[in-house]
Amino acid sequence: MPGDIEHTKNALRADLRQRRQLLSPIQQEQAEESLTAQLWHLVESTGATSLSCYLATTIEPGTRTFVNQAIERGLRVLLPSTRADGLLDWVVATTDGEEATGPYGVPEPVGELLGPIAVDEVDLLVIPAAAVDESGMRLGWGRGYYDKTIGSIEKCPPVYAVIFDAELLDEVPTEPHDQPVSGVVTPTRVITFPQR
């Protein structure tokens, strides 16, 4: 039943959020440093010259170091900005660009808003997740922005979710609207799932 699945998802999200909050600032800093190296392995293996990423919250593996390095190396990086209609606008990232707090307490870029279809032009999507299972199904944080985005791209490029190592699970609860990902990036590795 849909209500049961949503309840299971919410309980799992709460557990994962609590585990993340137990990480010390030093552990977070080390995770960002290691994640940055893994993201570069991913970019090099895919040959991406443009990508979407996001600005991590305080409980996510940090992405700002990678975003800054990507800009400095000439990659075009789009960052999401939430809209009231459940879609994402996009902003071209700048090095240490200005940030604002979005409607859900998530950091968002300040800049010229490009519409939702701007992401159709990227070679790679790097997105947040609460967990991913070994079949590639992603558990997000419950607002559906990325499921809508992935589902709306006609020729979707590879999509990699960023998680901590312990968040690659045997199985996550799913509903029909949930979108799978191509792989995951953790602070220690990049995993690409077999294509469906």
**CATH number of the domain within which 90 lies:** 3.40.50.10420
Give the confidence band of 196 by pLDDT, cuts at 50, 70, 90. Answer: low
Domain with 87, as residue range(s), is 2-192
Q: pLDDT at position 74, please?
A: 96
Tally of domains in the chain = 1
Give the confidence band of 19 by pLDDT, cuts at 50, 70, 90. Answer: very high
* Closest of 39, 46, 71 to residue 158, by C-alpha: 46
What does the pLDDT look like over 125-180, one tens digit per residue?
999 999 999 999 999 998 889 999 999 888 899 999 999 999 999 999 998 888 99
Q: pLDDT at position 3, please?
A: 73
Average pLDDT over residues 37-44: 98
Instruction: Write down the pTM of the prediction.
Output: 0.94
Q: What is the mean pLDDT of the chain?
A: 93
CA 177 to chain CA centroid, Å, is: 17
Q: pLDDT at position 15, please?
A: 95
Query: Which residue is associated with the tokens 């959020």?
Result: 17
CA distance 111 to 59: 24
Q: pLDDT at position 138, please?
A: 96
Q: pLDDT at position 2, please?
A: 56
